């Protein structure tokens, strides 16, 4: 079985590092500067549908996925709020971002018709979703995270 690895950028030196999704809760260090990589304190950009499936399926904690697009103004407005959630819940929540233009098959699979849409996955399955730009507190309250 092929293990898909998620690309996690180092918070210190920005070097991309590959980490198996199932080990996102383990201690890992940047290959370049040796700074701890996980738990990830920033949203993880998902680069393929395989990465998405592996992350959602194998992550040791709940995964909040922000479906967005580069041309979407509200998506850019909510991005700092999503980053805040990643920082505040480091170690308890994995936050990922899916660009709906880059991965339309993933967006289609989950019926994304409006962005930004945030979906919380628990145990590989969709638990809850919210749509629209809102504060980190509102996202957390509506998704019960």
* Residues labelled as active-site residues: 72, 75
Is-contact 57 19, C-beta < 8 A? no
Closest CA to 88 of 46, 44, 47, 39: 39
Closest CA to 20 of 94, 71, 92: 94
Say how far apart CA 41 and CA 93 lie, in whole Å: 9
């Amino acid at each position: 079985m092929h293990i898909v690895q998620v690309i996690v950028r180092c918070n210190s030196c920005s070097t991309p590092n590959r980490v198996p999704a199932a080990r996102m809760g383990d201690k890992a260090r940047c290959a370049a500067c040796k700074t701890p990589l996980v738990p990830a304190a920033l949203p993880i950009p998902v680069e393929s549908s395989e990465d998405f499936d592996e992350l959602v399926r194998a992550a040791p904690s709940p995964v909040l996925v922000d479906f967005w697009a580069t041309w979407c103004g509200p998506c850019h407005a909510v991005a700092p709020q999503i980053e805040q959630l990643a920082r505040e819940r480091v170690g308890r929540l994995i936050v990922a971002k899916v660009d709906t233009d880059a991965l339309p098959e993933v967006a289609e699979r989950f019926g994304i018709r409006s962005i930004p849409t945030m979906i919380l996955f628990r145990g590989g399955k969709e638990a809850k979703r919210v749509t629209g730009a809102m504060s980190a507190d509102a996202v957390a309250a509506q998704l019960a995270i």
